Structure 1
Amino acid sequence: MNPIALPLLALSMSTDAFAVAICKGASLKNPRFFEALRMGLIFGLIEAITPLIGWLIGNIAAPYVDVWGHWIAFALLVVLGLHMFYEGLNPCREEIEQPSRHSFFKIALTAFGTSIDAMAVGASLAFSEVNIFLAAGLIGLATTVMVTLGVMLGRVVGSLFGQKAECIGGLTLIAVGVWILSGKF
């Protein structure tokens, strides 16, 4: 594999997580850097593990991941997006009730939804001469950085748009799910 291809692959694997991180950051009440880093590390770890799983499964799972992976990611992101959109429309919700951090389960579920494509990439890397541990590490590192930056950018978006940012974030999650389903990620 071309030496430039691996870092580009890592960046491309983290773009969907970056978009989701902006939404997550916008839905938080004034997220701090350590919360953004926590989310980045959770996303990055999951995004690094999934290509390893895909690589290990290789030929056996490649058709399954290719066929069902987009549907799983789509369903997870649409459900989370609809929930976020509903929460943004809730008129009873005051700014004070905005959480200062997301639960590990919500973050991990979202991260898994955005990393299904990395599993398929891992399965395809099983057929090329690539150091899978280097590839997975670069994907995890790129995702950690992109998600951390995305959450902090979402902080700005959230302060500008307030509760509407959560509606926008929910619609963005749904759009990412549709985009994954269409095979563009």
Structure 2
Amino acid sequence: MAFAVGMDAFSISLGLGIYRIRLRRIFYIGLVVGLFHVVMPTLGILTGHFLSGLFGQITTYIGGILLILLGIQMIYFCFREEENTAILPVGWGIIFFSLLVSLDSFSAGLSLGMFGVRTAAAVICFGIVATFLTWSGFLIGRKVHNLLGTYAEVFGGVVLAAFGFQLLFPISF
């Protein structure tokens, strides 16, 4: 799941990689994105724990539906016709960029929190994966700027939706 929510950071970094951002800035941006991917799912998990205690089993269905909607939203935004304006990750743009690519990790954390996941393990995975995906996106984007962007985000959306369907319709092997 950490890989799926980190695909936003990867795909956007891949697109921004064409701006030939300096390696030192890429390193810094990756760390900030990783930090946001720790903070946002932590808030989501804590909120999910709280909601789970209040509502019980219905939170399983809510969590599954949230993951499916999040996956569909990621896929939908890949195929929109309008072109997004580039937010260059400089100054406050780094904070804004990190917040934008980590919003989906809040929703994923909310779903995980409803199931009583271990917070520390989950958010450390989210942060590490997001950091490395961000670095990878920028570095690959420097070489090949638009080859994988859409496909990477579609893959992330499909994985999130699959997790949601697994929660709604558990399959035992």
Q: TM over 0.5: same fold?
A: yes
Q: Partner of 1:98 in structure 2?
A: none
In structure 2, which of residues 72, 88, 104 is the aligned counterpart of residue 117 of structure 1? 104
The letter of the residue matching 1:107 is I
Q: Partner of 1:140 in structure 2?
A: 127
Per-residue CA shift, 1:129-156, capped at 9, x if unaligned? 4221111011101110110111011111
Q: Partner of 2:56 in structure 1?
A: none
How does the TM-score come out when normalised to structure 2? 0.62
The letter of the residue matching 1:132 is T
**Count of aligned positions:** 148
Per-residue CA shift, 1:62-83, capped at 9, x if unaligned? 87xx49x95x989x99xxx845
Give RMSD over aligned pairs.
Answer: 4.0
The letter of the residue matching 2:33 is F
Q: What fraction of aligned residue pairs are identical, expressed as a percent?
A: 22
Q: Does the 8 A contact of 1:44 with 1:139 survive in 2?
A: yes
Q: Partner of 2:32 in structure 1?
A: 42
Per-residue CA shift, 1:106-133, capped at 9, x if unaligned? 2322332222221122112223342211
- The alignment partner of 2:115 has SS state of coil
Structure 1 pair 184–129 and aligned structure 2 pair: CA distance change class (3 A): closer
* Unpaired stretches in structure 2, ≥5 consecutive residues: 53-58, 164-173
Q: Does the 8 A contact of 1:52 with 1:132 survive in 2?
A: yes
Higher mean C-alpha deviation, range 31-40 or range 137-146: 31-40
How does the TM-score come out when normalised to structure 1? 0.59
Distance 1:111 1:36 in 2: 12
Q: Return the offset for 1:38.
A: 1.2
* Unpaired stretches in structure 1, ≥5 consecutive residues: 1-8, 88-100, 159-164
Structure 1 residue ranges, 4+ long, deviating more than 4 angstroms after superposition: 59-63
Structure 1 pair 18–184 and aligned structure 2 pair: CA distance change class (3 A): farther
Q: Does the 8 A contact of 1:73 with 1:114 survive in 2?
A: no
